[in-house]
Amino acid sequence: MNTKTLAGITIDVNDEGFLMDADVWNPALALAIAQEEGIAELTPAHWQVIDFCRHHATANGAAPTLKAIMDGAGITTKELFALFPKGPAKKVAKISGLGKPEGCV
Give the tens place of pLDDT for each residue, 73-94.
Answer: 999 999 999 999 998 999 999 9
Average pLDDT value for the chain:
92
Q: Among residues 7, 45, 68, 104, which one is catalytic?
A: 104
Summarised one tens digit per residue, pLDDT across range 17-72 is 999 998 999 999 999 999 999 999 999 999 999 999 999 999 999 899 899 999 99
Amino acid 104: pLDDT: 56
104 included as an active-site residue: yes
Helices (H), 1-105: 27-36, 44-60, 66-73, 77-83, 88-95
CA-CA distance, 50 to 93, in Å (whole number)?
Answer: 8
Amino acid 105: pLDDT: 47
d(CA 32, CA 93): 14
Domain residue ranges in the chain = 2-95
> How far is C-alpha 11 from the geometric centre of its chain's CA atoms?
15
